[in-house]
Amino acid sequence: MGTGTDKKELLNHFRLEGEVVDVKPHGSGHINHTFLVTTSGTKKYILQKINTDIFHDTDGLMENIVNVTSYLRERIVQAGGHPERETMTVIPTKEGDYYYTDTDGCDWRVYLLIEHTVSLDHAENAEEFYASGLAFGRFQAQLADYPAKTLHETIPDFHNTPKRYLAFEQAVEEDVCHRAEAVAQEIAFIRARKEDISVLTDLLQKGELPLRITHNDTKLNNILLDADTHEAVCIVDLDTIMPGLCAYDFGDAIRFGANTAAEDEPDSNKVSLSLELYQAYAKGFLEGCGEQLTPKEVETLPMGAKTITLEQGIRFLTDYLQGDTYYHTEREGQNLDRCRTQLALVADMERKWEQMQL
Ligand code: ADP
Ligand code: GN1
Ligand code: MG
């Protein structure tokens, strides 16, 4: 995997201030390998091994991130903010590149650590979740005029739910790990909702919903909060910034942050949608997005929550059926537990559907 690589030697290729003192694993992301780098200088850094099994074009990926953060930086400066705190800073290599390929062919990048922040795996209270909704809404509003054509599609069809469904059916059919029989209930649950899967993508195709520049991975741990006040400071994990549906960005935050249980909770009876957290996030997100949203977009936000939760259940189950090759896992059955929490959340959303309307 290349994560055992000599990190100090690796970091020597980047323009860091000070000598590297310590490198240790950091965060709870499912995709990249992330490390916190401490130096003898005043700055700390984030080192990441980019998951190139998933992101096939590191040049395009890093170009997106550098261009989007430069664009955001200008706006933050204009607004009198702190660009090194409110957006990510990519640290170049000594050759001036935005990533470094090691001798094993693995790609690594370095960001400035945004200090005195925390990222949470569950919302501690409604105010905090409101603040993250506001920040993700503002993020979308800030990028409203960003030139969409210049963005590389880092993962094709990332939130194309009908295609995710087809990939799932194929995984059931191939059943390479002989796991399908034991998850017949989950498969049936998903199949029973086949019609829901294309509701939003159909509206997009018919021109009833616009494409926006979206983050596409709006879970709570992809936002850094001030360590003392828990106010939103910076949105991170910009790997999947691409044109997408506003409702999906809304929904992805809900499926993770408004769930009363952890994403991988083994007891899915603990799963439910907290309406208090749901409403708080919706309030923040709508405020943050501002005037730009069309009435149809606002109307379809609850459907975004349901669709992306179902999509995520489908994605976790597909990975489980394929032998857990996509998401990082720490234990057997973790992707199946993750799938079950998503499906239980969909079921609870169906029960609370009337109350979810905005
Ligand atoms: P993954 O794609 O694996 O989720 P992320 O880019 O989200 O990787 O990084 C993992 C975690 O590392 C984030 O959830 C966040 O807590 C932390 N993190 C990432 N970038 C920074 C940064 N520049 N400063 C501080 N923390 C960061
Ligand atoms: C992954 O990278 P991370 O952990 O922030 C995934 C998201 C999923 C999420 C589920 C590139 O997000 O799409 O919603 O796990 N990212 C990618 O927790 O696939
Ligand atoms: Mg992440």
Residue 121 lies in a domain: no
- Among residues 34, 25, 219, which one has the least CA distance to residue 120? 219
Q: How confident is the model at residue 263 (pLDDT cuts 50, 70, 90)?
A: very high
User: Tell me: the pLDDT tens digits for 61-80?
Assistant: 999 999 999 999 999 999 99
Assign 198 a pLDDT band (cuts: 50, 70, 90).
very high
CA of 354 to the centre of ligand 1 (A): 35
Do 52 and 142 share a domain, yes or no?
no
Please name the residue whose Cα sits nearest to atom 1 of ligand 2. 30
Q: Are residues 181 and 263 in the same domain?
A: yes
- Which of 3-7, 102-106, 118-122, 245-249 has the lowest average pLDDT? 3-7
**Is residue 150 one of the residues assigned to a domain?**
yes
Q: Which two tokens stand for residue 48?
A: 């990441």
Give whole-number Cα distances, 79 to 18, 68, 150, 357, in Å. Answer: 31, 17, 25, 34
| pLDDT at residue 4, as a whole number | 65
Q: Cβ distance 244 to 159 under 8 Å?
A: yes
Mean pLDDT of the chain, nearest integer: 96
Å from CA of 224 to ligand 1 middle:
9
Section 190-197 average pLDDT: 98
Q: Is residue 120 one of the residues assigned to a domain?
A: no
In this prediction, residues 135-153 reach a mean pLDDT of 95
Residue whose tokens read 């800030």 = 142
How far, in Å, from the CA of 342 to the mean position of ligand 1?
A: 23
Residue 2 has pLDDT above 60, yes or no: no
Q: Is pLDDT of 223 > 70?
A: yes
- 278/27 Cα distance (integer angstroms): 25
How far is Cα 294 from Cα 313, in angstroms, rounded to an integer? 28
Q: 277 is in which domain, residue-wise?
A: 126-356
Q: How far is the CA of 27 from the centre of ligand 1 (A)?
A: 6
Residues whose CB falls within 8 Å of the CB of residue 144, separated by 6 or more in sequence, listed in order:
212, 213, 292
Phi-psi region of 96 (alpha: psi -120 to 50; beta: other; left: phi over 0): left
pLDDT tens, 56-66?
999 999 999 99
- The predicted-structure confidence for 275-290, as pLDDT tens digits, reads as follows 999 999 999 999 999 9
Percent of the chain with pLDDT over 70: 99
Last residue of a domain, one of 94, 115, 136: 115
Ligand 1 and 37: CB distance under 6 A: no
What does the pLDDT average to over 295-316?
Answer: 98
Name the residue among 189, 136, 144 with its Cα closest to residue 165.
Answer: 189
- Could you tell me the CA-to-CA distances from 53 to 26, 58, 217, 310, 342 in Å, in that order? 20, 11, 18, 24, 25
Any residues with Cβ below 6 Å from ligand 2, and which?
A: 29-31, 54, 217, 219, 222, 237, 239-240, 263, 312
Number of domains the chain is built from: 2
31 lines ligand 1 (CB under 6 A): yes
Alpha helices by DSSP H, listed for the chain, are 7-11, 58-78, 83-86, 126-142, 161-174, 184-191, 194-197, 199-205, 246-257, 275-289, 295-299, 301-321, 334-351, 353-356
Domain edge (last residue) among 77, 92, 115: 115
Residue 5 reports pLDDT greater than 80: no
> Any residues with CB less than 8 A from the CB of 198 and at least 6 apart, and which?
161, 162
**Closest-CA residue to 48 (of 63, 26, 73, 72):** 26
Question: Which SS3 state, helix, strand or coil, does residue 247 take?
Answer: helix
Assess whether pLDDT exceeds 80 at residue 3. Answer: no
Of the pLDDT bands very low, low, confident and very high (cuts 50, 70, 90), residue 1 is very low
Same domain, 91 and 182: no
Instruction: Give per-residue pLDDT as tens, 316-326.
Output: 999 999 999 99
SS (H, E, C) 22-60: EEEECCCCCCCEEEEEEECCCCCEEEEECCCCCCCCHHH
**CA of 240, closest atom in ligand 2:** 11
Do residues 135 and 82 share a domain? no
Most informative mutation of 237, 239, 241, 326 for ligand 1 (most atoms within 8 A of CB): 237
Residue 67 one-letter amino acid: N
Span from the CA of 218 to the centroid of ligand 2 (angstroms): 9
Choosing from 217, 317, 329 the residue with most ligand 2 atoms within 8 A of its CB, the one to mutate for a pocket test is: 217
Q: In angstroms, rounded to a whole number, what is the distance separating the alpha carbons of residues 193 and 300?
A: 17
